[in-house]
Chain A
Amino acid sequence: MFAAPWVCRSCARSLRRVGISRSIRRASTETPVNLPPALLDRARRLAAEHQQLSAALAKDFDAKTAKRAGEISRVADALRQFEKAREALRELHGLLESNDAELRELAQDDLEATNAQLADSSRELSIALTPKHPFADMPCLLEIRPGPGGTEGRFFADSLFHMYRAYCSNKGYRTRVVKYEASDSDGQTGSEGEIALQEAVLEIQEPGAYGLFRGEAGMHRVQRVPATEKSGRTHTSAVAVWVLPSFPENSTSESEADWDNPESDFYINPAEVRSETMRARGAGGQHVNKTESAVRLTHIPTGTTVSMQDSRSQQRNREEAWRLLRSRIAQQRREAREEQARQLRSSVLANSQITRGDKIRTYQYQQDRCTDHRSGLDAHNLPDVLRGGETLGKIMESVQTWLINKDIQALIADEEAAAAARKEGK
């Protein structure tokens, strides 16, 4: 009666899975194949500037000019590639109209490859055109804080902390724990031996870490059955991750990373910072011997406070607090500026904008799934993600791609607005 022998459903499913990689589903990430004319204009202008600069450099060397030339050389290269691909395509189209049947066939074969090349180079060009994030070359500080709610969020904050640390050690990035403050509970731990974290700051000392990790900032949501839950209900809690640029300790005096320079985002006027050592009033000096070494810094204009009490040395605490304060202020200034730029280009990207308060990723334990809400990527190997394995790397990569696409869109919007303004001016 049956064409095939009966197989139970779970067996059938396991058979079907063999050899099929289903762990990752990619959401569509559209690439603009046809570059908008505004962007192309900008690329041409930059390429012309590059030519000028290289001519000037050939005559006499100047560090500043060389730096600028290096920055835009990528655009010039990408534009050259793009033009070449377009030229090839035009030639092919010419061949297609020829009378020779053999030639037409050959051209037809080449057409697809050339089209792909053109798409690649146009994408390369638009990436080269997007301005690099000014902090992208810096090391970063990863701040992890549980959202409001019970201990479950704190346990998960600890899991995230270990996830990022493991990821960094897998990738070979040097890290340092700046702050790891827990409600040091001996008895109570999470389902995987996590401790209840209050706040942790992890410094990733790799140059360029900010660029790699800036997509991680936002609310991370977890859905699982906590260890403390008796009746097996799934809880949802959230953990906030902030990514701050870190001021490298032994820096060369780059304009962005020089905190003595009042132009820099990292500059803080010491007169605007109130420093408190949280010591009780009353006699000091020889009268008491306090072990308390906590330091609290308040940046008065913005009301940002940083407190540090990890080390027994007050000196060390103060240095760490200053570093953290600088990073936070720099990030705030940067965000304020980005907000301004966003308002200028008004509604174009308003819906795709994800701010700090929105959830960016969900870790679903029951379904063994980790979803990034921006790139739309579903990864189905949660343990590997939490071990900081390759799956996490894939998720982070997808977010990078998403960020780049977003930047390109913003750039196009900006350029079109600028072009319109120019036209009006004429």
Chain B
Amino acid sequence: MPRLPPALFWRARREVSPLAAQLLPACRDLQSAANELRWIREHVRATPSPVPEGLRVWQLVERRGRGIPLQYVLGTQPFGDLEIKCRPGVLIPRHETEAYTLYLASLLAKEQPAAGSSSSSSSSTLSILDLCTGTGCIPLLLLQALLRRPPSPRPSHITVHGIDISPRAIRLARANLAHNTALRLLPPPSPPSASASPSPSYSATFTRASIFSPTLLPTLQSLSPGGWDVLTANPPYISPEGFARSTARAVRNHEPRLALVPPPAEPPPLLRQEDTFYARLLHMAQHLRPKRVVLEVGGWAQAVRVVRMALRGYAGGGGGEIARLYPTVEIWRDEPAGVAGDGTGDREGGGEVVEVAGREVRVRGVGDGRVVYLCR
């Protein structure tokens, strides 16, 4: 990390505030230090407390200045229209995740696959399974977006289910459901009802489980007998070397390694350590056969590797099963709905295509590779 010039601290002190100068080591530039200071002040003003405001601002600035992520300092992060609580030990929701989740929600709202697909019950219910859910941000935002703009034909009931190995994450995900319900950003959960209400009923559950557990697959199959419609996952995808070198300091020092770096594989590794989760996730997709699979990946190279694993098979399984199952395979970039300035981004019609494992794979949006998307 390059050293900040002392002049920058002077400028921060003179032009903004001494508190901004204290934020500089964490924020690295004047503009974001000024913004973060403003947000800290707004947060203090919005949350009443017997402690004087100036002292609270100072305390929060001091913690942020030490490099603790702002989301942990303030305890929340806006995610779409929702407010997601953040606590140490659980990964903070990222802007990229927000972007593709909203894009997925717009896809779901726009085109409900025509009737006549294998599971007949899917027209009246929509079920979403999120693995490695963390704060529960992905399923909750999908839920919120779909309740506001229900897809047509309108499902009568939406089920979302989140799974994580960390008990902290599960507690936080449940707290987030309650928090956003209390803020009236989500209606209270309701059992499926026969009566025609303006918006579909929904249920949201979060359970603790390891996705490598052999009993998980049968459990998930029994949870949604009609099959799952959407499978999403933001698994750990950083290699140990990448964790040491390319992650930001705030991430490395304060966010849980469990959510970032996959554990080393026990049998002699046939694939890279950062890809171990995708092998398992693709295996699960093959058995659960969800209509859409959305897997977050860490960059273009990994996206191509995951697509190759899906199409060609991978160590220990697969082998073209997925390629037969899912005719649509796409890679989404950071902003799937975005357009590049020179018009190379995606719009209706043409667009970018890459060839992976002998098949043409559509690429959407602008930015780095972020999501591997399968649809049948």
Which residue of the partner chain, among A186, A291, A311, A315, contacts B70 with CB atoms under 8 Å?
Answer: A291
Min CB–CB distance A259 → chain B (angstroms): 18
In the complex where A184-B17, A271-B347, A311-B78 touch, is A293 in contact with B247 (Cβ < 8 A)?
no
Question: 0/1 per residue, B243-266, Cβ < 8 Å to A?
Answer: 000111011000100011000000
Q: Are B347 and A287 in contact (CB under 8 A)?
A: no
For A273, A282, A285, A313, which residue has the most chain B Cβ atoms within 10 angstroms?
A285
Q: Are A314 and B95 in contact (CB under 8 A)?
A: yes
Task: Give Cα A279 to B259, complex, Å.
Answer: 23
Task: Give Cα A322 to B370, complex, Å.
Answer: 25
Question: 0/1 per residue, B340-354, Cβ < 8 Å to A?
Answer: 110100010000000
Which residue of the partner chain, among B298, B367, B368, contacts A286 with CB atoms under 8 Å?
Answer: B298
Does A288 make an interface contact (CB < 8 A)? yes
Which residue of the partner chain, among A277, A282, A291, A298, contacts B71 with CB atoms under 8 Å?
Answer: A291
Does B92 make an interface contact (CB < 8 A)? yes
B29-50: which have CB < 8 Å to A? 31-32, 34-39
Q: Are A284 and B367 in contact (CB under 8 A)?
A: yes
In the complex where A309-B35, A312-B39, A315-B81 touch, is A288 in contact with B338 (Cβ < 8 A)?
no
Find chain B residues with CB under 8 A from A183 CB. 15-16, 34
Interface of A is mostly: loop
Task: Give Cα A313 to B38, complex, Å.
Answer: 14
Interface of B is mostly: mixed
A286-321: which have CB < 8 Å to B? 286-293, 298, 300, 309, 311-316
Q: Are A289 and B248 in contact (CB under 8 A)?
A: yes
Find chain A residues with CB under 8 A from B92 CB. 289
Min CB–CB distance B81 → chain A (angstroms): 7
Does A149 make an interface contact (CB < 8 A)? no
Which residue of the partner chain, among A186, A279, A286, A316, contacts B17 with CB atoms under 8 Å?
Answer: A186
Does B237 make an interface contact (CB < 8 A)? yes
Find chain B residues with CB under 8 A from A284 CB. 94, 96, 334, 367-368, 370
B74-98: which have CB < 8 Å to A? 77-81, 91-92, 94-98
Q: Are A288 and B81 in contact (CB under 8 A)?
A: no
In the complex where A283-B299, A315-B98 touch, is A289 in contact with B78 (Cβ < 8 A)?
no
Does A25 make an interface contact (CB < 8 A)? no
A367-400: which have CB < 8 Å to B? none
| Nearest chain A residue, comparing its CB with the CB of B70 | A291
Does A270 make an interface contact (CB < 8 A)? yes
In the complex where A286-B94, A287-B238, A315-B98 touch, is A292 in contact with B32 (Cβ < 8 A)?
yes
Find chain B residues with CB under 8 A from A184 CB. 16-17, 20, 34, 37-38
A175-189: which have CB < 8 Å to B? 183-187
Which residue of the partner chain, among A275, A288, A316, contacts B78 with CB atoms under 8 Å?
Answer: A316
Does B18 make an interface contact (CB < 8 A)? yes
Q: Are A287 and B242 in contact (CB under 8 A)?
A: yes
Q: Are B37 and A286 in contact (CB under 8 A)?
A: no
Give 27 pairs: A residue, B residue, CB < 8 Å, sorted on A: A183-B15, A184-B20, A185-B16, A271-B347, A273-B339, A274-B340, A275-B338, A275-B339, A283-B368, A284-B334, A284-B367, A285-B97, A285-B298, A285-B299, A285-B370, A286-B237, A286-B251, A286-B260, A287-B238, A287-B246, A289-B248, A289-B250, A291-B69, A291-B71, A293-B95, A309-B35, A314-B98
Chain A residues close to B by CB (< 8 Å): 183-187, 270-271, 273-275, 277, 279, 282-293, 298, 300, 309, 311-316
9 more A-B residue pairs beyond the given contacts A184-B17, A186-B18, A287-B248, with a C-beta to C-beta distance below 8 A: A185-B17, A274-B339, A275-B338, A279-B95, A283-B368, A284-B96, A284-B334, A286-B91, A309-B31
